[in-house]
Structure 1
Amino acid sequence: MDLKDQLKNLFPDHTPAEEEKASPQSDIWLQDDPIICKYEKRKGKPVTILEGYNGAESDFKKLAKALKTQLSVGGSIKNETIIIQGDYREKIMEILIEKGFKVKRVGG
């Protein structure tokens, strides 16, 4: 006997309400302007640079940490830009779109 059956026995008149699928809510502030995602080589190594986020600095740090964790790569935050080690433009753009951001790809 699972939990639903036990609850039905305790509350026979109760009809469960349909659970609404909410849109993915983010604890990070979403902006109207797109985040710019570009690729560069620094000291011969590829990096992906994200710039154009104009939210709070704490949200900016949360976003950077989430990206680095999901991609399992290193990176840093400097001068209101997120620098991710490696060329991960496609994956980063997919992640940001899932979170509800608008993303603009710059460069090749």
Structure 2
Amino acid sequence: MKSKGPPGGGLVYSTESGRMCPGCRQPVAACVCARQPARPAGDGVARVSRTTAGRGGKVVTLVRGLPLDDAALAALGKQLRTACGSGGTVRDGSIEIQGDHLERVMAWLQAQGHAVRRVGG
């Protein structure tokens, strides 16, 4: 007969501290396993480059080094994709724009008041 408890067994609720995390066995408020390491704040300079590494030969324009939180970075990525008229994503603290839009992205970021530096060849 299967157990209906958490995988690996263990405490799921305590009257003293409430719900318990099944991973680290600590109260949910003090859980240490769900916290992600903080991304470095950066120096405020947007580093714009183009790369094809790991993308099957497709060119991608990368923007890194902006000291923005995830929500602001996603909003900026949306605006850049709209300005370039192409797709892209926000991944690991960097904005990826599909295609070779290096000059257009640099000009747009400078117009928005960001310090921009071209990186790579």
Give the whole-Å Cα distance in 2 for the aligned partners of 1:81 and 1:75: 11
Structure 2 counterpart of 1:4: none
Q: 2:95 pairs with 62, 73, 82, which one? A: 82
TM-score by length of 2: 0.61
Structure 1's unaligned 5+ residue stretches are: 1-30
TM-score by length of 1: 0.68
Give the whole-Å Cα distance in 1 for the aligned partners of 2:45 and 2:84: 21
Deviation at 1:93, TM superposition (A): 0.3
Structure 2 counterpart of 1:70: 83
Structure 2's unaligned 5+ residue stretches are: 1-41
Q: 2:48 pairs with 5, 14, 37, which one? A: 37
Matched, 1:47 2:60: yes
RMSD of aligned alpha carbons: 1.4
**Counterpart mapping for 1:3-14 below 5 A:** none
Deviation at 1:33, TM superposition (A): 2.1
By relative contact order (CA 8 Å, sep 6+), the higher-ranking structure is 1
Secondary structure of the corresponding residue to residue 73 of structure 1: coil
Deviation at 1:32, TM superposition (A): 6.0
Give the whole-Å Cα distance in 2 for the aligned partners of 1:88 and 1:48: 6
Secondary structure of the corresponding residue to residue 83 of structure 1: strand
Runs of 4+ deviating beyond 2 Å: none
Give deviations 1:87-107, integer Å, cap 9, x for gaps.
101000000000000011011
Matched, 1:95 2:108: yes
The alignment of Structure 1 onto Structure 2 pairs a total of residues equal to: 78
Deviation at 1:43, TM superposition (A): 1.0
In structure 2, give the amino acid aligned to 1:39.
R
Structure 2 counterpart of 1:56: 69
